[in-house]
Structure 1
């Protein structure tokens, strides 16, 4: 059985069908890109999986558990981590304290007065930072970090609840090509090592074609294509949606390879 199963998912705002009966599945250890032009329904779908929006119809099941109707915190406790388009960290705290705050939340001790955050599971926090290459900067304030390093810290925070599923909303937004490839290569490594499933939205097609195992393509709230890179690259509906007639994705793989080598 797939880790994540989305069936007949729908959401309307007034008379507008933002998402109209989409279906897809996601396996453990797989990176699935949710792509489409502006207004395709990507963010609405993403936020329904996360619980920020409630579906009008359909089902979202994680390991057989229905997520529709649950709050984001309840979904987080079931093993769903998330990163955001604009990195969400506490700039006034150190790198390791940001991860410790997430561990406090996981242990339901966020409001406890008995154990200062600076002492809570520091070794576990350092281990998470080591996985994302940030252990050496553990005691630096997040406010002084380069943006690419902040995104690494955010990834460590998202991993604090040992997620089965990681949701990444525009993970490489605002990053230079080298930083984009480093972050996605790190994510791919964690997926392989820990068997995590990743659902991500992304505007950079170079990133999508270089790192996604499969892609789900939406347009006007409907699923128009699903598959691996080669099938999506050559799909006439996808090319029409993104470019109109006469253009293709043919050079995307080559450009991504050049960026990784840079």
Structure 2
């Protein structure tokens, strides 16, 4: 059984068909990239899966359970983590407190704090920070962190609900090349170690082609290609959508 199944998904805004009959699935432990040029429907598809938008047509399944039209918090409680294009933490809190708040929320103890929040789930929060390479910064205020480190904290927060599926919206946006590769290597290792399935959007083609197990491509709201890196790189239709010529991804990056 697939971890995530997207079936005949559709969404319109006025007279514009932003997503048109899109279907795909993700297997356990699969690292799946969703790419496409600007306006392809990536964000709309992503936001329907996460519950920020309700689909006009089709269905979205986690295992055998439909999550179409569920609220993001309810989807999160089913074991779906999420990171955002622009990462943010509570700057007035320490690094470990940010992760503790996610753990407290997952345990449904936000409104039932008989003990100081700073004492709850600290050890588990430190374990998650160790997994993303940030344990040494646990007691630093989050506002002092470099942006690349904020991305790592966001990843630790996304792991607080022990997700079976992780949704990552442009995880390397705003990062330098070295930071980009370090973060994606870290995520890929988590996929291997924990068997998490990942769906991510990304504009950096070097990241996509180097790390994705499989790539799906959207253009004008429709799915136009689905395959491994070699198949997508050599796909004439994909090259035409991205470049409008016979130019290849390899030529474009050289």
Match of 1:201 in 2: 201
- How far residue 112 of structure 1 moved from its aligned partner, in angstroms, is 2.5
> Any conservation in 1 of the 2:104–2:120 contact (CA below 8 Å)?
yes
Q: Is the 8 A contact 2:236 2:246 kept in 1?
A: no
Q: Report the Cα distance in structure 1 between the residues aligned to 2:145 and 2:56, rounded to whole angstroms.
A: 41
**Contiguous gaps of at least 5 residues in structure 2:** none
Aligned partner of 1:259 in structure 2 is none
2:127 is the counterpart of 1:124: no
Which residue of 2 is the match for residue 160 of structure 1?
A: 160
> What secondary structure does 2:250 align onto?
coil
Report the alpha carbon displacement of residue 91 of structure 1 after superposing the two structures with TM. 1.1
What residue is the counterpart of 2:249 in the other structure?
A: 249
Q: Distance in 2 between matches of 1:248 and 1:115?
A: 59
Matched, 1:181 2:181: yes
Contact persistence 2:4–2:60 (CA under 8 A): yes
Output the aligned Cα RMSD: 1.1
The runs of at least 4 aligned residues of structure 1 exceeding 6 Å deviation read none
| Counterpart residue number, 1:79 | 79
Return the offset for 1:251.
5.2
Asked whether 1:115 is paired with 2:94, we answer no
1:244: how far off? 1.1
SS in 2 for 1:73: helix
Match of 1:41 in 2: 41
Q: Name the CA distance, whole Å, in 2 between partners of 1:86 and 1:106.
A: 22
TM-score normalised to structure 2 length: 0.98
1:2 aligns with 2:25: no
Identify the residue that residue 90 of structure 1 maps to in structure 2: 90
Q: CA deviation at 1:246?
A: 2.9
Instruction: Quote the offset at 1:250 in angstroms.
Output: 2.4
Provide the aligned length of Structure 1 versus Structure 2. Answer: 254
Is 2:70 the counterpart of 1:65? no
